[in-house]
Amino acid sequence: MKDKLVRNAAGREVVTEINGNPAVPYLGVGKFKPEGRKAAPPIPTCADYPADGNKVLSDLKTALEKAGLRDGMTISTHHHFRNGDLVANRIFDAAAELGVKDLRWFPSASFPCHEPMIRHLDSGVIHHIEGSMNGPLGDYASSGKMRGLGVLRSHGGRYQAVQDGEVHIDIAVIAAPTSDPFGNCNGVNGPSACGGLGFALADSQYADKVIVVTDNLVPFPCVPWQIMGNNVDSVVVTEKIGDPEKIVSGTTNITKSPDRLLIAELTARFVEAAGILQDGFSFQAGAGGTALSFALFLRDMMRAKNIKARFVRGGSTQYLVDMLNEGLTDYILDGQTFDLAGVRSMRDNPHHIHTNPFVSYNYHNKGNIASMVDVVVLGATEVDVHFNANVVTHSDGRLLHGIGGWQNCLFSKCTILPIPTFRDRIPVIVDEVTTLCGPGELIDVIVTERGIAINPLRQDLIDRTKNSGLPIRSIEALKDEIESICGGAPDKPRFRDNAIAAIKWVDGTVIDIVRQLE
Amino acid sequence: MNMKAEAGRSGKSVRSDCRVAITLRESGGIDLQLTSKVESLYGNSIRTLAAEVLAKFEIEHAEVIIEDSGALPYTITARIEAAVKRLRPEESRDFLLPYREGLRQSTARDRFRRSRLYLPGNDPKLAINAGIHRPDGVILDLEDSVAPPEKDAARILVRNTLREVDFYGAERMVRINQLPLGLADLDAIIPQEPNLLLIPKVETAAQVVEVVDRIESLRASFGIEAPIHLMPIIESAKGAIHAYEIASAHSSVVALAIGLEDYTADIGAERTLEGKESLWMRGAVLNAAHAAGVQAIDTVYSDVNDMEGLLASVREAKSLGFNGKGCIHPRQIPVVHEGFAPEAKEIEKAKKIVLAFDEAQRQGLGVVSLGSKMIDPPVVKRALHTIDLALRSGILNEGWKEETNEG
């Protein structure tokens, strides 16, 4: 069947209907005004829950049955266990045993460990996935095998979709490293400790039924209660819910690649030259190799100039924790922890704050943290000459990554993408991105090993860095040089007409679609 | 004639290279089997290019397997050419892509040679981005980093690299093999106009003359006007004794470099971190270089993780009178430049002398004076050099004269 397409405000052809529901095409940054009231779960009563607070059920299958699992429901999970998640697969194994079909899986992200879901997609237990798809699941979707349309949302966009009633969660399953029998739970304690549980917040607040699954039951009260038991229907205690070595790494290594180190160093020098590095400033840098090295170069500059940040946004790692302990920042505001040092610090240091997509990213809110951050450093698979960027597909059109917090972070006062100009002969700076994830008007600076390009909309940054001695060039000049090195512009990937996934903007509108590969 | 040959590398850990295997056949045309991680983006372009190379060498019937790991066009053509030449050792034609514009730039005899980055000649991956780290020079190495069976393939790849890769103003150097093999390297390399050749294990002035003779005859037949400088490497007891003769063997010698691994083996000593065993040799080469009016270049610092040790080693080399240091990792380059940068008081003194020199020029005076003191021309020259070095090290702004006058 051919999808009905319209051209949105970014000039991309997008679907107007997603899995039977109408969808609004992207209208521009800040243009879509939501109306109406937020969604709400049914009103519960204490009369239906044990007065002693003990909600423990014997196993996951029983809990799912008791939650009323049936065909066509939406089941949500969180991805705080990353590639070490042992719970999500078990939910759909149980659903298969119960003979349930056509479920929508609504994870906050999927990982290669979820490859077994392909079996459930093939057999009809799962109808489609709405959440990041990469690795084997990305290939499965890219080849057009999934029955429904995949939907990719940012972390903030996922919260927004649940809050606005765009996605109704029937059953939320929250894997929790530590819980009490009432369902109060957290991610900082227990053998599967992962740090926070913020990605499951919306699920706990808006789902009809909430099941907590833990391998570390403690007597009431479980503190801190990152998820409140008052929202939880039942608690299931099982063996091992996660593989600790894949949840957090023992150590986080900075990149050894000299080219990436150079890009990270140039990024830090740009931040300094642009006058951003001032007492009380704030920054966000992920745990990727280049972003992490950027943070270390910045740290050295902060030490040398005796500058202190007011807050740093995590994903946290040992390196950010060291900065906090050294007094280089007052706070870490942390959405997810990437290593054991981060988990311990979140548990023990009151200045290491657990955040969630509601406070950090939700666009249908009375403001959020993302726009208050002075500078954010993000990755991208492609950037075009209009500074539009792609994070979800590879240049050959395959689904590669989820959006994560990426779209939400673009609202920072200065958004910098440190990227190599090409990877293995594949140009990263192109005429037009394969998939549009972030509009160019929000992307301020591209830092590459062959020069720095500043968005012409940011005349202030251009002026401030004019005499910095930094290699500032036009993005077109960078693109031309790269095409010349790579042996001409690459061929465009060949797609069929039908869409396999929709890419949502932070406000729930459709910014682009991903088509099936030829 | 061989029926089957291959060149290049493929595999999970390989990047920017490709493996080409050609099997000649009696009939059936060209059967090109390409696997590439950039298939959907550059597959067609690779097939067209491969067909062009095979046509050039008049290969009409063959199975050609290309396993590509994102190789750039000049690497793909180099690997096909190397495979063809392994099939036909008598093949004398070359497949050359157009020489990229702006790459051929001659360099001055006395330019800065603080940092020279070694690049293994048969591995394309490291050369592509070498220039972005802004070394004073890059060395495409045909000698120790290339295994003996790969010397032919490396020669073709280095030849193409000189024509295709922009090193952003770094001096383009090639380390040839020890003589006599090194003489054959010259035939492939000299027509591409490198700026400088490093000659390993030089022990006598006659060896330098031998290289010069071959270069001159190649320059004449290819009509090359740009100078091609020489940097003999002294790495034996005998070489150290003859250092002055070697440095003065010909006007194209611009520097002497030292190699300590071979030297310490030659004298039967253990190479140590503090390097007492090579103290005399380094001094001897250093003195010979300066006596002959050429630069003295110190050996490499081999612990790439120890930046503090590197900086100390560079400062020691500078204090002894060395002008440069070899680098084996790009991150060593900024540290080497920092180590060779002039100190603040040196710069202040040089500034005064240069301003006085400008003033004398403006007034048409033949003599430069600072206060009541006359400044000799060599002192002026040294001051200009210090300022140049400070500018290049990024510790002095281009506009320093205005700033000084305003201040």
More confident residue, B295 or B376: B295
A441-472 residue pLDDT tens: 999 999 999 999 999 999 999 999 998 989 99
B239-263 residue pLDDT tens: 999 999 999 999 999 999 999 999 9
Cα four-point dihedral sign B126, B131, B136, B137: positive
B218-239 residue pLDDT tens: 999 999 999 999 999 999 999 9
Q: Using a CB-CB distance cutoff of 8 angstroms, which residues of chain A are in contact with residue B71?
A: 425
Taking a C-beta distance cutoff of 8 angstroms, is the pair B54, B64 a contact? yes
Residue range B300-305: average pLDDT?
A: 92
Write the DSSP assignment of A288-308 as a string of letters.
SHHHHHHHHHHHHHHHHHT--
- CB under 8 Å to A298, separation ≥6 — which residues? A268, A271, A277, A283, A285
* Cα distance between residue A227 and residue A78, in whole Å: 12
Provide the pLDDT for residue A251. Answer: 65
* Cα distance between residue B13 and residue B15, in whole Å: 7
pLDDT confidence of A164, banded at 50, 70, 90? very high
Provide the pLDDT for residue B273. Answer: 83
* Cα distance between residue B306 and residue B365, in whole Å: 50
**Where would I find the beta strands (DSSP E) of A73-177?**
74-77, 103-107, 126-129, 150-152, 171-176
pLDDT confidence of B60, banded at 50, 70, 90? very high
Portion of chain B with pLDDT greater than 70, in percent: 99
Q: Find out if CATH 3.20.20.60 is the number for domain B115-340.
A: yes
Mapping DSSP onto H, E and C, the string for A437-460 reads CECHHHCCEEEECCEEEECCCCHH
Q: Encoding tokens for residue A295?
A: 């943070």
Q: Given this chain, do its domains B4-87 and B115-340 carry the same CATH topology? A: no
Give which of B129, B166, B337 to mutate to test A binding, by max A Cβ within 10 Å. B129
For chain B, the structural domain boundaries read 4-87, 115-340, 344-406
* Cα distance between residue A265 and residue A259, in whole Å: 10
Closest chain B CA to residue A425: B70
Q: Using a CB-CB distance cutoff of 8 angstroms, which residues of chain B are in contact with residue A396?
A: 39-41
Contact between chains at A485 and B128 (C-beta distance less than 8 A)? yes
Provide the pLDDT for residue A3. Answer: 72
Task: Give me the residue from B37, B72, B133 closest to A485, CB to CB.
Answer: B72
Task: Look at A71-80, A278-287, B91-100, B196-205 and tell me which has the smallest mean pLDDT.
Answer: A278-287
pTM: 0.93
The three-point CA angle B98-B104-B110 to 5° equals 165
B68-91 residue pLDDT tens: 999 999 999 999 999 999 999 999
Does any CB of chain B come closer than 8 Å to the CB of residue A153? no
Cα–Cα distances (Å) from A492 to A96, A436, A495, B42, in that order, read 40, 15, 9, 9
Residue A182 has pLDDT above 60, yes or no: yes
CA–CA min distance B367, chain A (Å) = 36
Task: Give me the residue from A396, A423, A487 closest to B45, CB to CB.
Answer: A487
Give which of A265, A425, A430 to mutate to test B binding, by max B Cβ within 10 Å. A425
Closest chain A CA to residue B76: A487
Contact between chains at A425 and B394 (C-beta distance less than 8 A)? no
Task: Give me the residue from A423, A425, A469 closest to B72, CB to CB.
Answer: A425
* Cα distance between residue A208 and residue A231, in whole Å: 10
Mapping DSSP onto H, E and C, the string for chain B reads CCCEEEEECCCCCCCCCEEEEEEECCCCCEEEEEEECCHHHHHHHHHHHHHHHHHHCCCCCEEEEEEECCCCHHHHHHHHHHHHHHHCCCCCCCCCCCCCCCCCCCCCCCCCCCEEEEEECCCHHHHHCHHHHCCCEEEEECCCCCCHHHHHHHHHHHHHHHHHCCCCCCEEEEECCCCCHHHHHHHHHHHHCCCEEEECCCCCHHHHHHHHHHHHHHHHHHCCCCCCEEEEEECCHHHHHCHHHHHCCCCCECEEEECHHHHHHHHCCCCCCCCHHHHHHHHHHHHHHHHCCCEEEEEECCCCCCHHHHHHHHHHHHHHCCCEEEECCCCHHHHHHHHHCCCHHHHHHHHHHHHHHHHHHHCCCCCEEECCEEECHHHHHHHHHHHHHHHHCCCCCCCHHHHHHHC
Contact between chains at B38 and A490 (C-beta distance less than 8 A)? yes
Q: Spell out which chain B residues touch chain A, with contact meaning CB-CB distance below 8 angstroms.
A: 15-16, 37-45, 49, 69-73, 100, 128-129, 132-133, 166, 329-331, 394
Provide the pLDDT for residue A252. Answer: 67
* Cα distance between residue A501 and residue A78, in whole Å: 20
* Cα distance between residue B166 and residue B189, in whole Å: 17
Provide the pLDDT for residue A2. Answer: 61
CATH of domain B4-87: 3.30.230
Q: Using a CB-CB distance cutoff of 8 angstroms, which residues of chain A are in contact with residue B394?
A: 469
Q: Using a CB-CB distance cutoff of 8 angstroms, which residues of chain B are in contact with residue A493?
A: 40-41
Contact between chains at B72 and A424 (C-beta distance less than 8 A)? no
Q: How many CB atoms lie within 10 A of CB A459?
A: 10
Does any CB of chain B come closer than 8 Å to the CB of residue A28? no
A-B CB pairs within 8 A amount to 62
Contact between chains at A426 and B70 (C-beta distance less than 8 A)? yes
Contact between chains at A491 and B329 (C-beta distance less than 8 A)? no
Give contacts of A 314-353 with B, CB under 8 A. none
**Measuring CA to CA, which residue among A392, A513, A416 is closest to residue A109?**
A392
CA–CA min distance A493, chain B (Å) = 6
Give contacts of A 239-258 with B, CB under 8 A. 258
Closest chain A CA to residue B330: A258
**Measuring CA to CA, which residue among A168, A161, A104 is closest to residue A358?**
A161
pLDDT confidence of A143, banded at 50, 70, 90? confident
Residue B407 has pLDDT above 80, yes or no: no
A277-321 residue pLDDT tens: 999 999 998 777 889 999 999 999 999 999 999 999 988 999 999
pLDDT confidence of A5, banded at 50, 70, 90? very high
Provide the pLDDT for residue B373. Answer: 83
Closest chain B CA to residue A495: B40
A34-74 residue pLDDT tens: 999 999 999 999 999 999 999 999 999 999 999 999 999 99
A200-249 residue pLDDT tens: 999 999 999 999 999 999 999 999 999 999 999 999 999 999 998 888 87
* Cα distance between residue A278 and residue A461, in whole Å: 15
* Cα distance between residue B113 and residue B133, in whole Å: 15
Cα–Cα distances (Å) from A192 to A215, A238, B109, in that order, read 8, 12, 65
Task: Specify the DSSP class assigned to residue A469.
Answer: -
Does any CB of chain B come closer than 8 Å to the CB of residue A450? yes
CA–CA min distance B217, chain A (Å) = 33
Taking a C-beta distance cutoff of 8 angstroms, is the pair A49, A31 a contact? no
Portion of chain A with pLDDT greater than 90, in percent: 88
* Cα distance between residue A337 and residue A268, in whole Å: 23
Give which of A255, A263, A422, A424 to mutate to test B binding, by max B Cβ within 10 Å. A424
- Domains of chain A, with CATH numbers? 52-130+167-247 (3.40.1080.10), 258-492 (3.40.1080.10)
Taking a C-beta distance cutoff of 8 angstroms, is the pair B4, B22 a contact? yes
Q: What is the ipTM of this complex?
A: 0.90
Say if strands B18-24 and A389-390 run parallel, antiparallel, or are unpaired.
unpaired
pLDDT confidence of B402, banded at 50, 70, 90? confident
CA B148 distance to own-chain centroid: 20
* Cα distance between residue B6 and residue B23, in whole Å: 9
Write the DSSP assignment of A203-245 as a string of letters.
HHHH-SEEEEEES-B-SSP-SS-SB-GGG-SEEEE-S--B-HH
B133-185 residue pLDDT tens: 999 999 999 999 999 999 999 999 999 999 999 999 999 999 999 999 999 99
Provide the pLDDT for residue B398. Answer: 81
Contact between chains at A493 and B41 (C-beta distance less than 8 A)? yes
Contact between chains at A493 and B40 (C-beta distance less than 8 A)? yes
Give which of B16, B35, B42, B69 to mutate to test A binding, by max A Cβ within 10 Å. B42
Provide the pLDDT for residue B405. Answer: 67
- CB under 8 Å to B75, separation ≥6 — which residues? B8, B16, B17, B18, B124, B157, B160
Provide the pLDDT for residue B155. Answer: 97
Write the DSSP assignment of A253-293 as a string of letters.
PPP--HHHHHHHHHHHHHHHHTT---TTEEEEE-SSHHHHH
Q: Using a CB-CB distance cutoff of 8 angstroms, which residues of chain B are in contact with residue A293?
A: none
CA–CA min distance A458, chain B (Å) = 26
**Measuring CA to CA, which residue among B154, B22, B113, B148 is closest to residue B385?**
B113
Task: Specify the DSSP class assigned to residue A51.
Answer: T
A349-378 residue pLDDT tens: 999 999 999 999 999 999 999 999 999 999
Task: Give me the residue from A396, A487, A494 closest to B72, CB to CB.
Answer: A487
Contact between chains at B71 and A425 (C-beta distance less than 8 A)? yes
How many DSSP H helices and E strands does chain A contain? Answer: 15, 29
* Cα distance between residue B290 and residue B236, in whole Å: 19
Contact between chains at B129 and A486 (C-beta distance less than 8 A)? no
Q: Using a CB-CB distance cutoff of 8 angstroms, which residues of chain B are in contact with residue A426?
A: 38, 41, 70
Does any CB of chain B come closer than 8 Å to the CB of residue A36? no
More confident residue, A34 or B396: A34
Residue A105 has pLDDT above 90, yes or no: yes
Task: Give me the residue from A262, A424, A487 closest to B133, CB to CB.
Answer: A262
Provide the pLDDT for residue B361. Answer: 85
SS3 content of chain A, % helix, strand, coil (to 5): 30, 25, 45
Contact between chains at A424 and B16 (C-beta distance less than 8 A)? yes
Taking a C-beta distance cutoff of 8 angstroms, is the pair B247, B256 a contact? yes
Does any CB of chain B come closer than 8 Å to the CB of residue A430? no
